[in-house]
Structure 1
């Protein structure tokens, strides 16, 4: 009898636990289900796109509530892909390494805003990256979840008709294609929506696995499918610690050596109005040039140095900053010039430092003093390059 009573109690407890587990799962599911339609229906009503007088029309203003209700769904997608959510301390460290931003967990703000065009802009706006021409490109670091995302509409994340069947009737009956003088395209009319969703989730997962879980295997996909995001990291935030990314963009620079398009791979302006040299990128470029040995591949270094020395837009920077940048570029270009300039005339007649000597003229001794005082910036080829530059005369190179 006593044994039967014990068994009955155990069975009752197990059934109670199962019931509680089901209840908890239902509540967790309901938390998402209850929250998402609050922003889903306004998004459905606004449509996938809109036009007025045959011109694209912004029919919906995104707000923090749109970002808020997307987070549980994005979180779920990351969990599906076994993303490891970092502790606040580890996430904060990673964010500072990548974006040079500090997360203040003492503030009640939910997100740290990342402006994809201006690293110094920290004022949050709620902006969709609808295409690469959208300015600014906007990203959001989710403080309590430790991941980065764009602002996405709910239909761009999940199959909303499958997850929220009640939305089908709403979209059919409550969403009008003609809203006054504005004509909308409904979300359910976009034939590419499934593909858009898949791409958005792939970006979300690949970016976060690569940046915060150190999953380098994601890089192949990112380089092929999310190049603009990686370019933003390199040019705007000076992310130059990955040689594979550096080499990817170096190949493109060699094909198109436009200074305007490429200078920020090498140097950028800090929020404190100082020049920030992307030393690892320059080192990767040096490794490429050692193999190619082509003047056309290297010429962008000389062109950047010339612009920094002579262009009015760089007058706001200190002479010390400019001399340091020119030195880093000369450390790569000038030894190659010395070795190969007699093989063909494509190398021109001056090294970077010889050009600087000619440009600064009477002030050259001051420039030299800055370089020497800084112990040649610990650059291996700079002393030799400076000595070589001092041997140039009106005829040209000494050799």
Structure 2
């Protein structure tokens, strides 16, 4: 009996050891996958204009986000729950993540926010798509691996692949397409890419004020896109920054206040008015003057970017709310009535009034009172309340 027990113990221990060994080789499989992807990218070269990126696919993006997830963890990024990540993505980009979906990524087209088709195109000047990783709860550009990792140091054997020229024919002449080793500032590109990756994720998902300040200096266009294109106005510091950078350009300034959704709805960003209301008197004045110019422009322009193909009903609502909340920012006598007076004095003033009445003045308690006052510049005549 003792011998039988001993044999059973040895067999059990052996099985456990086999299980442990099987688990230990998993990282090697991951490294092999990364190695394969990196080898393919190095062989393809660094010339997207000549097809170097044509055969990138989901496996390339998978390898990238795995490296990036590790980098973020090593640089102070704190993982958030799936539930919080889903809420953040909807709040920032107005995109809903379906937890039940097996799709690993969502693609964000910064120029065409209604483009939701998932394709895998590496980052270039023409393709600056943002990819949302549901597995690692991060956002990223689709960077080629050599623009993220120092492959010469980490994978020195692969550098031999770059000794093979990539010969192509252009207008009857044979030339050699660029390889990664030919990019003179490749290390600086890596540093910049990793800094953008880190700052964006730490700001958006960890509320890092330090990283927001870095983005203001080095990634201004991204911050402006968040507000003016996607309508992300929950962060007061961000809104203040975008206001300051756009108040002298009416066409861009108005994009801070109105956001057009993919279904065609126009959303009025009242949060922006709340931010202005808490600024210094000097900032209030300059922004209110710009708002006045904006209202004048929109009441005269029937082909503006935001209202050209929308109904007059929506135009009246948005401009009416913009005018109303502007009167709440200051009681300075010289600009208090400017905004509603602009609408009242327009040739279509009666049409605006009809829309306001039809919509019960948007259920705003003193909307009607201010509208009526601006007809007379706030002066009471005999018989008036």
User: Does structure 1 residue 291 correspond to structure 2 residue 291?
Assistant: no
Which of 28, 41, 44 is residue 42 of structure 2 equivalent to?
Answer: 44
- Does the 8 Å CA contact 1:305/1:325 hold for their aligned counterparts? no
Output the aligned Cα RMSD: 3.1
Deviations 1:183-225 (A, max 9, x none): 3222112231111111111111221122222333321112112
Distance 2:22 2:73 in 1: 21
In the alignment, structure 2 segments of 5+ residues that lack a partner are: 1-8, 379-385
Which stretch shifts more, 210-219 or 221-230?
210-219
Which of 90, 102, 105 is residue 111 of structure 1 equivalent to?
Answer: 105
Match of 1:227 in 2: 220
Distance 2:182 2:123 in 1: 21
Which stretch shifts more, 103-112 or 314-323?
314-323
User: Does structure 1 residue 79 correspond to structure 2 residue 73?
Assistant: yes
Residues 149, 340 of structure 1: alpha-carbon distance in 2 compared, 3 angstrom cutoff:
same
User: Does structure 1 residue 188 correspond to structure 2 residue 186?
Assistant: no
- Does the 8 Å CA contact 1:330/1:385 hold for their aligned counterparts? no
Which of 229, 239, 248 is residue 241 of structure 2 equivalent to?
Answer: 248
Match of 1:3 in 2: none
Match of 1:387 in 2: 372
TM-score (norm 2): 0.81
Match of 2:295 in 1: 305
Match of 2:168 in 1: 179
Secondary structure of the 1:140 match is strand
Distance 1:87 1:362 in 2: 52
User: Does structure 1 residue 130 correspond to structure 2 residue 109?
Assistant: no
- Does the 8 Å CA contact 2:243/2:256 hold for their aligned counterparts? no
- Displacement after TM superposition at 1:338 (Å): 7.0
Residues 183, 301 of structure 1: alpha-carbon distance in 2 compared, 3 angstrom cutoff:
farther
Match of 1:374 in 2: 362
After superposition, residues 1-399 of structure 1 pair within 5 angstroms as 27-28=26-27, 30-49=28-47, 57-61=50-54, 62-131=56-125, 134=126, 137-172=128-163, 174=164, 176-181=165-170, 182-254=175-247, 257-288=248-279, 290-292=281-283, 294=285, 297-309=287-299, 310-313=301-304, 314-334=307-327, 339=332, 341=334, 351-359=338-346, 360-370=348-358, 372-376=360-364, 382=367, 385-392=370-377
Secondary structure of the 1:104 match is coil
- Displacement after TM superposition at 1:103 (Å): 1.0
- Does the 8 Å CA contact 1:323/1:367 hold for their aligned counterparts? yes
- Does the 8 Å CA contact 1:289/1:297 hold for their aligned counterparts? no
- Displacement after TM superposition at 1:31 (Å): 3.1
- Displacement after TM superposition at 1:38 (Å): 2.4
Secondary structure of the 1:233 match is helix
